[in-house]
Amino acid sequence: MATRDLARRTATDLSALLATDSRAGFAWQQRMWQIAACLSADASDDEALRTARARFEGLYAPGRDFADFHLWRPDPGERAAANARLDALIARLRDLLHMPPVTLRRARHGDAGRVAAIWHAGWRDGHLGHVPDELVAARTAENFHTRAAARVTDATVAEVGGVVGGFVMVVGDEVEQVFVDASFRGGGVADALLAEAERLVAANGHAVAWLAVVPGNTRARRFYERSGWADDGAFDYVASSVTVPCLRYVKRVGP
Ligand SMILES: CC(C)(COP(=O)(O)OP(=O)(O)OC[C@H]1O[C@@H](n2cnc3c(N)ncnc32)[C@H](O)[C@@H]1OP(=O)(O)O)[C@@H](O)C(=O)NCCC(=O)NCCS
């Protein structure tokens, strides 16, 4: 099947998923409708794909805060399934539209807003239901904006077509943060970031890198294990004065 037809079919599935959302009307949803519409419009293949690609990039333009880039369902299980489907469809569209490859660079002050948005939404994806309520209460949007503003220059960001899709922070031998925007997951952005984090730990003079992950964050654990990291046992991590039961994952990164 031609790329245009596959992209059109994916766009149709995406439209159907958006149409069932009970909290419609967000700016990002309207953008998605536009992307779907230009793939279905009566235009040449080249023109339709080019317009869709430009709109897709616009969705992630710097300075836009898409922390609400999630579908809503009252039932938590249905909500997780709808969002997993949303991520998969967006990732497929991204592949079909030949979005450009991942590049890495040191973060700049101007990245703080985008880093905060990815951090906040990603933190909720990986931690809600798996950490004490006091920590959830402390992790407000403002908390992420403050920490991102203070820490942004410690980060390495991954860009896809000029759009920041994720970031890592390394401190000494610890990989402190690995966060990828939901619609960039499953596309190699996380692999590029983790490989860079491992390189940075080795460059800091350490043979073994470590990180903390909560036991319930199964997607992250699967990703780390696939990348050669091993579970080194349970320990307590103190975050914002809250004790959080975690697993310590380790990987040898140097001689
Ligand atoms: C953790 C994270 C960086 C990984 O990046 P990613 O692009 O999602 O990683 P990938 O899709 O390449 O790999 C995830 C693996 O988990 C699997 N997976 C996907 N959804 C899953 C789920 N709900 N439960 C368990 N495993 C899942 C994938 O199939 C894949 O495994 P596979 O390669 O064997 O198929 C990203 O998911 C993220 O930013 N999550 C939110 C923030 C977070 O939790 N960060 C880590 C804090 S310690």
Say whether both 35 and 142 belong to one domain: no
Atom of ligand 1 nearest to the CA of 190: 5
Which of 55, 75, 97 is at the close of a domain? 97
Opening angle at CA 69, ends 212 and 160, nearest 5: 75
Residues sharing a CB contact under 8 Å with residue 118, sequence separation 6 or more, in sequence order: 164, 165, 166, 167, 179, 180, 181
Map tokens 């616009």 to a residue.
Answer: 58
CA 249 to each of CA 21, 105, 158: distance values in angstroms, whole numbers, following the listed order: 37, 25, 23
Say whether both 146 and 210 belong to one domain: yes
CA of 169 to the centre of ligand 1 (A): 18
Counting the structural domains of the chain, the total is 2
CA of 1 to the centre of ligand 1 (A): 29
Which of 102, 128, 219, 249 to probe ligand 1 with, by most ligand atoms within 8 A of CB? 219
Within 6 A (CB) of ligand 1 lie: 122, 125-126, 178-180, 185-186, 190, 213, 217-220, 222-223, 226
CA of 205 to the centre of ligand 1 (A): 28
At 63 the pLDDT is 56
Opening angle at CA 173, ends 169 and 178, nearest 5: 30
Say whether both 112 and 205 belong to one domain: yes
At 241 the pLDDT is 94
Say whether both 139 and 56 belong to one domain: no
Closest C-alpha residue for ligand 1 atom 13:
223
**Pair type for strands 208-213 and 242-252:** antiparallel
Dist. CA 166–CA 163, nearest whole Å: 9
Write the DSSP assignment of 49-77 as a string of letters. HHHHHHHHHHHT-TT---TT-S---SSHH
At 68 the pLDDT is 55
Closest C-alpha residue for ligand 1 atom 5:
190
pTM here? 0.77
Say whether both 30 and 78 belong to one domain: yes
Which of 97, 116, 141 is at the close of a domain? 97
Tokens of 101: 């490859």
Closest C-alpha residue for ligand 1 atom 11:
186
Which of 56, 77, 97 is at the close of a domain? 97
Instruction: Give me the domain span that covers residue 50.
Output: 3-97
Say whether both 170 and 52 belong to one domain: no
Q: How buried is residue 77: exposed, middle or buried, by Cβ count under 10 Å (0-12/13-18/19+)?
A: exposed
Dist. CA 155–CA 157, nearest whole Å: 6
Per residue of the chain (255 residues), what is the pLDDT tens digit? Answer: 577 888 889 989 988 998 887 676 677 788 888 888 888 888 888 888 888 888 887 776 655 554 456 788 888 888 889 988 988 888 888 888 877 778 999 999 999 999 999 999 999 999 999 999 999 999 999 999 999 999 999 999 999 877 899 999 999 999 999 999 988 888 789 999 999 999 999 999 999 999 999 999 999 999 999 999 999 999 999 999 999 999 999 999 988
Instruction: Report the CATH number that the domain containing residue 219 is assigned in CATH.
Output: 3.40.630.30
Dist. CA 118–CA 132, nearest whole Å: 21
Say whether both 144 and 225 belong to one domain: yes
At 166 the pLDDT is 96
At 69 the pLDDT is 67
At 64 the pLDDT is 56
Tokens of 38: 């230009």
Atom of ligand 1 nearest to the CA of 218: 25
At 230 the pLDDT is 98
